[in-house]
Chain A
Amino acid sequence: MEDEQSFSDIYGGRLALQRRCYSPSCLEFCLSCPRITLRSLTAVTCTVWLAAYGLFTLCENSMILSAAIFITLLGLLGYLHFVKIDHETLLIIDSLGIQMTSSYASGKESTTFIEMGEVKDVVINEAIYMQKVIYYLCILLKDPVEPHGISQVVPLFQ
């Protein structure tokens, strides 16, 4: 069973939510984030290269230009590998646990699995961001020493 709906995130980009039900005891939610646009990429590259050209006219050292190219390339690779998230998946398995997977634009996937025994509660929390209040879903974990939540996990990036 698959469902697809579209929402928008706090910056205004388009998000798509997909819901799959494998069996009565297993559900999967998949959230796709907005892709990187050509406009923003061009803008950042032009800014960096203009700044480098400005420095070059001051210093007359051509190493600055090649350094700027390197910085742009490395920065783009780093951004795609570590920062830009392509889609996130939440897999809920009955009596086993909850698994959250984030896949980045370069293909890297990072997974966290929380056992059902550690989950205390799933709540919707509020946060104040700039001038508005945003809501996010989080999981409270049990503290081994005392029965209160020790860490709050934010499954879906806002």
Chain B
Amino acid sequence: MVLKAFFPTCCASADSGLLVGRWVPEQSSAVVLAVVHFPFIPIQVKELLAQVQQASQVGVTVLGTWCHRRQEPEESLGHFLEGLGAIFSHKPWFQLCRERGSKSWSCKATHWQGPTSHAASGEDQVMLIFYDQRKVLLSQLHPPAVLPDRQAGDTTASAGGLAAVFDTVARSEALFQSDRFDEGPVRLSHWQSEGVEASILVELAKWAAGPVCLLLACLLSLVSAASACRVFKLWPLSFIWSKLSTCEQLRHRLEQLTLIFSTRKAKNPAQLMRKDLIGQLADALIPVADHVAKELQHLLQWLMGAPAGLKMNRALDQVLGRFFLYHIHLWISYIHLMSPFIERILWHVGLSACLGLTVALSILSDIIALLTFHIYCFYVYGARLYCLKIHGLSSLWRLFRGKKWNVLRQRVDSCSYDLDQLFIGTLLFTILVFLLPTTALYYLVFTLLRLLVVTVQGLIHLLVDLINSLPLYSLGLRLCRPYRLAAGVKFRVLEHETGRPLRLLMQINPLPYSRVVHTYRLPTCGCHPKHSWGSLCRKLFFGELIYPWRQRGDKQD
């Protein structure tokens, strides 16, 4: 195999010295981590390497020599470097050489057969691969196929050639502690020698972040303690809290804030706090509610006539129609009573929308639910009537045929009825059958309206879920520091001359946005409807009430 040497780009301009790094025999590749400069004492170098090896579990050794020389080669330096091969024995021994100011490199890798037979040392072809040490140190490889049964912990980087390189660099933090500008027995050159990244603003922000975070954490713990107190657990309040999706969202937001501060959604609908807009919204709400009520009244008048050419039972029609009309009348008066206060309430509610777009959407969903409360009531009345009728019809139909439902055995058994039982039963059956179209029509109309409202609310909830589960931090990281999330590497061939070793540049290939979202998706609230289409149709046919979604942890109603 061709020998590969991974060389950090920051060491390309360093002075001559020793190459220090790790040798991976399975891939015949040497990962150079740092350069040790002259003068040094071999014993101290060996001590430092032993320390680093113990601290980081990476087999760091001296790999070879590095020579960065001027135009005229210095003979004494050349012999000295070759003599070093005898002190730090390593197979194979690398000798990298670069002429100052030019792009020509040369590299030799020799195998020492032993001190007696110098002539029999063989030379192999070497390929130089340059890599940016800081980026490789900070990045995280995302392999396309995740191995389910391999642990990520203490396996010594046997998985994949490039993963071994990344792993080596990432775990050798201990080697990068001291620098060539530090006073110490050994002077090293690595990515830190290029200048440690720092900025006044960042440092100040880090200092200030500590107390600010502490203060916010105290406030939040107070708020969560207050909300968990016993007063709110009493029955009417807890029932309302569980039904309003806003409270669920607020609870979610509180959890998020207590965990990490940086996930605050920065979509701040500040316009909602402008007074005139709130006024406009409040002014718009009342006519909308009036309009909805008027439309419902028209609908009921239509039902009380001869809707779609069907002939209804006049008496039942009038009763049901009047009952619902009175209900609407009550609702309209209630809305008109509340109208002076709507603007105030909306303004205070709009304040809480500064916690993010998702809270604003949840508030919208709750407003829709409250405004269409009368539709919900009508649906419940219609459904219950229809359900009773269907049950009555089915049991009377069994009586018509001479059968009975056996509760003990949970099946239909034959039964002999008396004549008067049969007579009454048949009479009731006929009445119910002829009243069926009227009830069914009312039920159908109100069920459709209710389903429409449920669909709108469901869409809003879906949008809220989507926003909640979006990993904003990972997306921001991918945008600003793309080398942190790596899908792989890419190579570029640098200038090449015949006779010189092949030089490649290794760059990090960032993860595509779709995979970022897929991998780092946050867990959602999980408010999915629990019915399949079949069971939904069955419930609709039999008139059972439909509860569109359940929050996690709710009891069955």
Contact = CB atoms under 8 A, between A and B. Distances in A.
Interface residues of A, number: 22
Nearest to A91: B491
Interface string B508-533: 01000000000000000000000000
Interface string A130-158: 00000000000000100000100000000
Interface stretch (A3-11, A20-28, A51-59, A72-80): A20-28
Contacts of A101: 490
Contacts of B147: 144
Interface string B341-381: 00000000000000000000000000000000000000000
B502 A111 contact: no
B491 A22 contact: no
A35 to B, nearest CB: 25
B127 interface: yes
A121 interface: no
Contacts of A111: 488, 490, 509
Contacts of B162: 115
A56 to B, nearest CB: 33
B28 to A, nearest CB: 7
Nearest to B504: A93
B125 interface: yes
B402 interface: no
B161 interface: yes
Contacts of B502: 22-23, 25-26
Contacts of B509: 111-113
Nearest to A95: B1
Contacts of B160: 115, 117-118
A23 B496 contact: yes
Contacts of A99: 490-491
Nearest to B125: A25
Nearest to A143: B145
Contact of B488 (A112, A117, A144, A150): A112
A48 interface: no
Contacts of A94: 1-2, 127
Contacts of B2: 25, 94-95
B216 to A, nearest CB: 42
B284 interface: no
Interface string A8-46: 000000000000001111101000000000000000000
Interface in B491-515: 491, 493, 496, 502, 504, 509
Contact of B4 (A96, A117, A150): A96
A26 B509 CA distance: 20
B489 interface: yes
B145 A144 contact: yes
Interface in B108-159: 125, 127, 129, 145, 147
A5 B415 CA distance: 93
Contacts of B27: 95
Interface in B144-200: 145, 147, 160-162
| Chain B interface size range | 20 to 34
Contacts of A118: 160
A25 B127 contact: yes
A150 B125 contact: no
A95 B4 contact: yes
A150 B493 CA distance: 30
Contacts of B496: 22-23
Nearest to A26: B502
A22 B501 CA distance: 10
Contacts of A69: none
A113 B147 CA distance: 19
A151 to B, nearest CB: 8
Contacts of A144: 145, 147
A114 to B, nearest CB: 9
A115 B161 contact: yes
A14 B160 CA distance: 39
A116 interface: yes
Nearest to B150: A144
A72 B129 CA distance: 45
A111 B487 CA distance: 10
B255 to A, nearest CB: 37
Nearest to A115: B161
A91 B27 CA distance: 19
A23 B500 CA distance: 10
A91 B161 CA distance: 18
Nearest to A113: B488
Contacts of A25: 2, 125, 127, 502
A95 B504 CA distance: 14
Interface string A80-101: 0000000000010111100101
Contacts of A91: 491, 493
Interface in A114-129: 115-118
A101 B504 CA distance: 16
B127 A150 contact: no
Contact of B145 (A93, A115, A150): A150
Nearest to B162: A115
A1 to B, nearest CB: 10
B127 A96 contact: yes
A113 B493 CA distance: 14
B129 to A, nearest CB: 8
B490 A28 contact: no
Contacts of A96: 4, 127, 129, 161, 491
Interface of A: 22-26, 28, 91, 93-96, 99, 101, 111-113, 115-118, 144, 150
Nearest 10 CB-CB pairings of A with B: A111-B490, A23-B502, A95-B1, A113-B488, A25-B2, A95-B2, A94-B2, A144-B147, A22-B496, A22-B493
12 contacts: A22-B493, A23-B502, A25-B125, A93-B504, A94-B127, A95-B2, A95-B28, A111-B488, A111-B509, A113-B509, A115-B161, A144-B145
Given A23-B502, A95-B2, 14 more contacts: A22-B493, A22-B496, A23-B496, A25-B125, A26-B127, A28-B493, A93-B504, A94-B127, A95-B28, A96-B4, A111-B509, A112-B488, A117-B161, A150-B145
